[in-house]
Amino acid sequence: MLSHFYVKCWINFFNEDQGHCGSCWAFAAVEALSDRFCIHFGMNISLSVNDLLACCGFMCGDGCDGGYPIYAWRYFVHHGVVTEECDPYFDPTGCSHPGCEPAYPTPKCVKKCADKNQLWKNSKHYSINAYRINSDSYSIMAEVYSNGPVEVDFTVYEDFAHYKSGIYRHIKGDVLGGHAVKLIGWGTTDAGEDYWLLANQWNRSWGDDGYFMIKRGTNECGIEEAVVAGLPSSKNFIREVASVDAVVGDVSI
């Protein structure tokens, strides 16, 4: 099931590619916040993974070597995040997942928009808060239904790398590591199996067009243990309107 909000915001659900960088924690956070801006404010915007990845620093973890989802959301509260247009992702080529080689180092924080006509501070979008959702399926469903996608992390095993379709459950293979993704909905099959629907960031050639389902209600691979999110803020909206008015004023002179 997808919330009724999501029909108009489906455009934001297209999958990205984290490329040669362990930036899953940043992708999942930024994509979820982008969706929430659409749901709560009707804004179809793509926020910048690069800003969060490069500029959050040690507070968020180790950049391309992994990070902490809750601190990504706290970064949104205290520092905001610019748009993708202002600060595009540093690795646009993508690769075959998982385990892209070679691994790239974390990009440097520049704090200047690629488009010199845009100002970094004016492009910032904020979250009101950063919070954890209780680790039970009903609390998670209520949060997604009311406010939009959330960020989750779970343990990835070797068999997940070969997922193509259906409801994933770990059967065999060693641990590959932790991974963060965006949880966008849930459902139940005709056979009565409950599942979560999630968007990965290993591009659309992986899984089911970039998406996957995983068993719901049993904390499969720890998927229900660490669920985080935040509500989008209207902070900086006045500045954006003022900037537009200033441009219009200049044109009319």
Q: Are residues 71 and 168 in the same domain?
A: no
Task: Write the pLDDT tens digit of every residue in 96-128.
Answer: 777 688 889 999 999 999 998 999 999 999 999
Task: Write the pLDDT tens digit of every residue in 57-71.
Answer: 999 999 999 999 999
* Three-class SS state of 11: helix
Picking from 142, 114, 144, the residue whose alpha carbon sits closest to that of residue 54 is 114
CATH code of 137's domain: 3.90.70.10
Q: Are residues 116 and 166 in the same domain?
A: no
Q: Indicate the residue type of 219.
A: N
φ, ψ for residue 163, nearest 5 deg: -60, 140
41, 74, 163, 231 from 193: Cα distances, Å? 34, 35, 18, 31
Q: Are residues 209 and 245 in the same domain?
A: no
199 falls within a domain: yes
Q: Are residues 148 and 113 in the same domain?
A: no
Number of C-alpha atoms within 13 angstroms, CB side, residue 32? 35
6 falls within a domain: no
Tell whether the torsion through CA atoms of 174, 149, 164 and 194 is positive or negative: positive
| Res 15: pLDDT | 54
β-bridge mates for residue 175, sequence order = 157
Whether 159 shows a pLDDT value over 50: the answer reads yes
pLDDT interval class at 234 (50, 70, 90): very high
Task: Write the pLDDT tens digit of every residue in 36-94.
Answer: 999 999 998 999 999 999 999 999 999 999 999 999 999 999 999 999 999 999 998 87
3 falls within a domain: no
pTM of the entire predicted model: 0.90
Q: Are residues 208 and 245 in the same domain?
A: no
Question: So which residues are the catalytic ones?
Answer: 24, 179, 200
Task: Write the pLDDT tens digit of every residue in 161-215.
Answer: 999 999 999 999 999 999 999 999 999 999 999 999 999 999 888 999 999 999 9
1 falls within a domain: no
| Res 101: pLDDT | 82
| Res 242: pLDDT | 43
| Res 94: pLDDT | 79
Domain count along the chain: 2
Domain that holds residue 140: 133-226
Task: Please count the residues of the chain.
Answer: 253
222 falls within a domain: yes
Q: Are residues 220 and 237 in the same domain?
A: no
Whether 149 shows a pLDDT value over 70: the answer reads yes
42 falls within a domain: yes
Task: Write the pLDDT tens digit of every residue in 214-231.
Answer: 999 999 999 999 999 999
